Amino acid sequence: MSAYPHMLRPLDLGPVTLRNRVMMGSMHTGLEETGDWARVAEFYRERARGGAGLIVTGGMAPNAEGAVFPGAAGLFTAEDIAHHREVTSAVHAQGGHIAMQILHAGRYAYGRDCVAPSPVKAPIAPFVPVELDEAGIEKQIADIATAAARAREAGYDGVEVMGSEGYLLNQFFAPCTNHRSDRWGGGLENRLRLPVEAIRRVRAAVGADFMVIFRISLIDLVPEGSTWDEVVALARAVEDAGANMFNTGIGWHESRVPTIATSVPRGAFTWLSERLAEAVSLPVIASNRINTPEHAEALLKAGTVAMVSMARPFLADADFVAKASAGRARAIAPCIACNQACLDHIFEGRTASCLVNPRAGHETQLSYSPATQPREIAVAGAGPAGMMAALVAAWRGHRVTLFEAAPHIGGQLNMARVIPGKEEFDGLVAWFAAALADAGVEVQTDCRAEAGALAAFDEVIVATGVRPRDPAIPGQDLAHVVSYAQLLSGAVQIAEGARVAIVGAGGIGFDVAAYLVQGRPSPTEDAALWLREWGVADPSQARGGLAPEGPRPERALREVTLMQRKAERPGRRLGRTTGWIHRAHLRAKEVQMLSGVNYERICPQGIEISLGEERRERRLIPADHVVLCTGQEPERRLAEQLAAADVTAHVIGGADVAAELDARRAIDQGARLAARL
Ligand code: NAP
Ligand code: SF4
């Protein structure tokens, strides 16, 4: 019997019966906008083949004014419908079901013509929206209904109408964005009119035998958001208007509470999905920070929610459901909720992919096809680049030996996994270990590869990583100065209550600061503590789910000063969608952040600094310890030995280019090299 009987049970919704309870939630991937529909179809085909019970597409605009950005995909022409038919046919051929999400962005639309219930600018958008008049409202509803009818024509099994995350329908419903006094605003009955009318008209447009999902915001996490009673009233009205199922949304895009980042506890908000399920008669889908079959099974076994939604986990592994049902859950590549290659790419105007799975979004371009001639391959260094290169080479049929000088595989990932809030990295290292074993890679730890021995292999890959950069600060040899590697590897401990100066405020400087101010287990492992730290309240007691007293972070364990030489704001170069979370966390822990710093000298009392080019305000930052987080240099000694011995080698990861190296780039480079060998 399967370990996941509740997850793998079919769900009869009337219009369709889904083959299991796992939904691949909507994600904007940017693939539709490339115009390469074979690529779009292949992306969804792989996820349907991998067993997703229901797939929901990225949000499709119902009209130009509702498009998230100019030119965002929608179903406007016969040609669009034909393209979408390629996608739906691909999914159906794999026995899957697919619904199209209709997303009207309202005031979040990036354009001067964006529309909203009231002319209130969103804090994250540059434009004041145009207030809709009666005719404008009718047009938006009609366009949403037309989009649903076209989705049916394109072969979709249903639509998901986006009513959460602060988009148009949510904007009409919440008091903070709806200041109208006509029949579309004011009291609850008027504020729910637009979402309810949209569902009623969608149902009329598509007929009875078509799935209509409404994505409802359970907790807005913005001031003057909805109350729980209002959410339930909306849900019941939407039910009466003809929906088949509720998907659930958590927080608006402008919210200052993280909702999907890696530091958010797993299932931090599923209690709200369960509460909605108890208040309505339609099936409810739980969402946000669910990324394992065990978690999905536990939620479904409890019997309140009918389905679970996972979006990014299907980027990390298209075969999530197939592997779980085959008893191979440990082979599922985990989504670590880092956003580095999915959401961050989208905000950089690139297509979405995945740190853990570089094939995501590139299914037609990056293939791990069997090698024509299996060879003996040596990989030196079991960090992210080396592990991925070894894995892909082995998947392709090569015989691979992976050498690691340290006692454990993982390389720099072992630094990340000890940082409070980055516990998901544990699962990533565990997955690599299991996948390498399953693929038959011979892993030799505690074994430094030497040029002489490597010469016997057909191909040599050097992935020896990085070493900390020497900042050459006078006094850095004093006993109280340590490198981030010494600290995070556990070689050096710093007592609680100590004053610590951190030199270098890149990703690792921020991580080290978090490590010093926060103990383990961290709030990421304790949802109640995490909700309190970020000021989240029960929406039945506080409008919008924001605690009136605000965030209540626990006291920092150490007194930390974080410094950089650049004059810009510290943390400005961290991830586009997660940098603000790291900055807010350290601010809450009263970490002092200094920019434009010159490090004059380290002395027994701390570190002497001055500011700016004119070296003004020379002063002492008192510190019991100084931690150097000043970046890395490539570790190329082995590559040089090989070159001297005339052995050709492929150099990847930090050993190749250390500057701004992250796990995403390292894994991508390892996978692409091994796909070519
Ligand atoms: P980094 O991002 O390059 O930062 C190095 C820091 O050291 C900078 O603050 C730099 O700023 C300073 N620095 C460089 N040379 C120096 C010198 N000679 N003397 C004094 N200070 C110097 O490197 P990292 O922090 O080691 O991170 C490595 C990689 O891992 C990065 O690509 C990073 O993005 C990634 N990572 C990301 C995260 C995250 O997003 N949360 C976490 C960990 C790691 P100044 O030159 O202004 O002083
Ligand atoms: Fe998950 Fe990170 Fe991959 Fe995005 S890039 S899908 S967050 S592992």
> Does an H or E element contain 141, and which?
helix 134-153
* Contact indicator for 609, 626 with CB cutoff of 8 Å: no
The whole domain housing 421 covers 376-467+635-676
> Which numbered ligand comes closest to the C-alpha of 502?
1
| C-alpha 571 – ligand 1 centre gap (Å) | 10
Return the pLDDT at 660.
Answer: 79
Residue 367 lies in a domain: no
* Å from CA of 337 to ligand 2 middle: 5
Do residues 161 and 126 share a domain? yes
235 and 154 assigned to the same domain = yes
Q: Cα angle at 286 between 282 and 291, to 5 degrees?
A: 150
Asked if the structure places residue 339 within a domain, the reply is no
Q: What phi and psi values does residue 74 have, to the nearest 5 degrees?
A: -160, 180
Dihedral of the CA atoms 208, 209, 214, 215 (nearest 10)? 180
Last residue of a domain, one of 592, 610, 630: 630
Cβ atoms of 331 and 435 closer than 8 Å: yes
List C-alpha distances in Å: 139 to 74, 103, 244, 512, 528.
16, 15, 24, 53, 44
In this structure, the answer to whether residues 443 and 395 fall within a common structural domain is: yes
The pLDDT of residue 231 is 98
Taking only the tens place, the pLDDT of each residue in 142-172 is 999 999 999 999 999 999 999 999 999 999 9
Nearest CA residue ID for atom 2, ligand 2: 338
> 6 lies in a domain?
no
Same domain, 154 and 209: yes
Q: Are residues 419 and 482 in the same domain?
A: no
Helices 193-206 and 228-241, axial angle in degrees (round to 10): 20
Does the bond joining 521 to the residue before it have cis omega, within 30 degrees of 0? yes
Residues 389, 324, single domain; the answer is: no
User: What span, in angstroms and rounded, lies between the C-alpha atoms of 491 and 227?
Assistant: 50
Our answer on whether the CB atom of 667 is closer than 6 Å to any ligand 2 atom is no
| Closest Cα to atom 8 of ligand 2 | 335
Confirm if 628 and 484 have CB atoms less than 8 A apart: yes
Looking from the CA of residue 337, the nearest atom of ligand 2 is 7
Domain assignment present for 531: no
What ligand has the least distance to the C-alpha of 316?
Answer: 2
Neighbour-count burial for 524-560, b at 16+ CB within 10 Å, e otherwise: beebebbbbbbbbbebeebbbbbbeeebebeebbbbb
The finding on whether 414 has its CB within 6 A of some atom of ligand 2 is no
- Choose the residue to mutate in 611, 630, 656 for probing ligand 1, maximizing ligand atoms within 8 Å of C-beta: 630
Domain co-membership, 254 together with 386: no
Nearest ligand to the C-alpha atom of residue 504: 1
CATH number of the domain that 416 lies in? 3.40.50.720
Give CA 622 to chain center in angstroms.
Answer: 38
Supply the pTM of this predicted model: 0.96
Question: Do 463 and 572 lie in a common domain?
Answer: no
Amino acid found at 316 = A
Q: Please, are residues 33 and 67 in contact by the beta-carbon 8 Å criterion?
A: no
Task: Tell which residue, 645, 515, 532, 637, has the closest CA to residue 586.
Answer: 515
CA 96 – CA 49 distance, rounded (Å): 8
Identity of residue 548: P
Kind of pairing between the strands at 399-403 and 442-444: parallel
Whether residue 328 is found in the same domain as residue 392: no
- pLDDT at position 209: 96
Q: What residue type is 386 in one-letter code?
A: G
C-alpha 598/C-alpha 614 separation (Å) is 10
Shortest-distance atom of ligand 1 to CA 660:
32
Contacts of the segment 32-40: beta carbons below 8 A, 24+ positions apart? 32/58, 32/60, 32/73, 33/71, 33/72, 33/73, 34/351, 36/364, 37/83, 37/86, 37/87, 38/86, 38/364, 39/363, 39/364, 39/365, 40/83, 40/86, 40/87
Q: Is residue 361 part of a domain?
A: no
Return the CATH number at 104.
Answer: 3.20.20.70
- Each residue of 621-658: pLDDT tens digit? 999 999 999 999 999 999 999 999 999 999 999 999 98
Report residues of the chain scoring pLDDT below 50: none
> Does ligand 2 come within 6 angstroms of the Cβ of 299?
no
Look at residue 29 in the predicted model and tell me its pLDDT: 97
Structure letter (DSSP) for residue 348: T
CATH label of the domain that carries residue 621: 3.50.50.60
- Indicate whether 235 and 153 sit together in one domain: yes
Catalytic, out of 167, 484, 515, 599: 167
**Annotated catalytic residue 515:** no
Determine whether the shortest distance from the Cβ of 338 to ligand 2 is under 6 A. yes
What's the 311 CA to ligand 2 centre distance in angstroms?
Answer: 10
459: nearest Cα among 390, 388, 357: 390
Domain co-membership, 588 together with 643: no
pLDDT, residue 520, reads 84
Report pLDDT for 274.
Answer: 98
Whose CA is closest to atom 10 on ligand 1?
504
- In angstroms, what is the span from residue 640 Cα to ligand 2's centroid? 34
Q: In the chain, how many domains are there? A: 3
DSSP assignment of 214-282: EEEEEE--STT---HHHHHHHHHHHHHHT--EEEEEES-TT-SS-SSSTTSPTTTTHHHHHHHHHH-SS
Question: Looking at the domain assignment, is residue 269 inside a domain?
Answer: yes
Same domain, 441 and 326: no
Residue at 368 is within a domain: no
Angle between helices 228-241 and 270-279 (to 10 degrees): 50
The rounded Å distance from CA 388 to ligand 2 centre is 16
Among the bound ligands, name the one nearest to the CA of residue 27. Answer: 2
Q: CB of 654 within 8 A of CB of 465?
A: yes
651 inside domain: yes
